[in-house]
Amino acid sequence: MVGDEIYTWVCRSDGSVFEANITKIAVQRHYYGREGEQNADVEISEIENKYSPFIDRLREMDTGEITDVPIAEIIAHLCVRTKHLRESFRDSVEYLVDAISKYVTDSDNVKTLILNNPKLIEDEIIKELIRRGVSEENRHIFLGIIRGLVPSFLEYNKEGIKAISSLFIDAIRRMIPSALKSGHIKVLHTNPVPEPRAEDYRNLRWHVVTVDRTIILGDAIVLFEIDGERRFKTLNDHDDKISNVFLPISYSRVVVGTSDKSLEGVYFNINEAIARCSREYFVCSDPTAEVVSLQSVIGADSSIISKTEMDQIITEMFQFDKTTRDG
C-alpha cells in the first residue's frame, strides 16, 4: 500500500509477474458500452456503491456466519459481470462454429443433413407457396417435384454449397465478438443481479472464514464446488448440486456458502482450483515459488462449457455419429 493506493501482485498465464495498482487490473475501455449507446455503466456503478460497504464489513469480520449482508445477491452479480464470463462464452461459441464449419463445408454432410431432415427446407417452401396463393393440391404436387430434384441438385452443386457455407460461417465468425458484447451489456443493463441465481444462493449457509494460508484471487472472482464429474466451476448450471461456493475477499479471508449446516469438511486448499478456473491471471499478496508455479495451470478449467459438453451438443445438433464426424 502506497498512501491511499493499494497494490497487489499479478500472475498472468504468459508467465509474467508484476505489481500493479488494484484499480488498473483488468481495466478495459468501454467494457460496459460506449456513451450514447446502450451501456451498463450506470447500473454497475450503482451496484458497486450499494455492495462495496458490505464487502468492507465482511473483511473486518472474524470467522462466523453471515446474517446481515445480502451475500446471495452479491454472488449472483459477481457471477455475470466479469470479462472471464464473456470471453469464456466466446470460446465456446467459436468452438461450436468451428465444428459447424467443418460439417457444413463438406457437401456430403450437407446433403445427408437435408435429405434426412426434409422439413428444413419444405416448411419454408410451403410458406412461400401459401404467400403466393398456390392451392393446397398444387403445393403437394410442387413439393413432390422438389423432393425428386433435391438429391440431384445437391450432387451437382457441391462446390456452390461449399462456397455458400463458407461465406455464411465467415459472416457468423465476424459477428461473434460484437454480438456477445452487446448481449452481455444488455443483460447487465436490464438485470445486473439475476434473481433466479440469487434465489438459489439464498438456500446456502454463508460464512466468513479466516484461513491459515494465503489465498489467491482469480479473474472469475467466484469459485463453485460442484457435486459432479467437474468438481470446480466458475459458473454453476441450474441443475448443478452445489457443495460449496468460495469468494476470496482478502488474502486470508474467504466468504463460503455451503449446502451443509456447518463448515466441517470444507476443503480450503483451493488455490490450484482458483488458478485452473482463471482464464488469464490471478492476483496474490506474495509471489512465492509455490504461488508462481500455479501460472502453468491457468485456464485449464476456465471454460464455462467443457469441450466434452460442446461435442455432445454438436453431435445431438446434427444427429451425426461422433466417430464418423471425427473420421
Mark whether 206 and 261 lie in a shared domain. Answer: yes
Mark whether 33 and 60 lie in a shared domain. Answer: yes
- Name the grid cell of 15: 508467465
What does the DSSP 8-state code read for residue 261? S
Q: Is residue 2 in a domain?
A: no
Mark whether 131 and 263 lie in a shared domain. Answer: no
Q: Which of 131, 158, 187 is the last residue of a domain?
A: 187
Q: Give the tens place of pLDDT for each residue, 123-177.
A: 888 888 898 898 888 888 888 888 888 888 888 888 888 888 899 899 999 999 9
Share of the chain above pLDDT 90, in %: 52
Q: Is residue 318 in a domain?
A: no
Mark whether 209 and 296 lie in a shared domain. Answer: yes
Q: Is 202 helix (H, G, I), strand (E, B) or coil?
A: helix
Higher pLDDT, 100 or 253: 253
Q: State the Cα–Cα distance between residues 162 and 155, nearest whole angstrom.
A: 12
**49 CB-side CA count, 13 A:** 6
Q: State the Cα–Cα distance between residues 279 and 281, nearest whole angstrom.
A: 6
Q: The pTM is what?
A: 0.81
Q: Is residue 219 in a domain?
A: yes
The neighbour count for residue 83, using CB atoms within 10 Å, is 15
Q: Is residue 327 in a domain?
A: no
Q: Is 16 helix (H, G, I), strand (E, B) or coil?
A: coil
Mark whether 99 and 166 lie in a shared domain. Answer: yes
Range of the domain at 264: 7-84+195-308
Strands 223-226 and 232-233: antiparallel
- Is residue 245 within 8 A of residue 78, CB to CB? The reply is no
Can you give the three-state secondary structure of 209-258, one letter per residue? Answer: EECCCCCCEECCCCEEEECCCCCEECCCCCCCCEEEEEEECCCCEEEEEE
Q: In total, how many domains does the chain have?
A: 2
Q: Is residue 1 in a domain?
A: no
pLDDT at 223 over 90: yes
Q: Give the tens place of pLDDT for each residue, 36-80.
A: 777 888 899 999 999 999 999 999 998 899 999 999 999 999 999
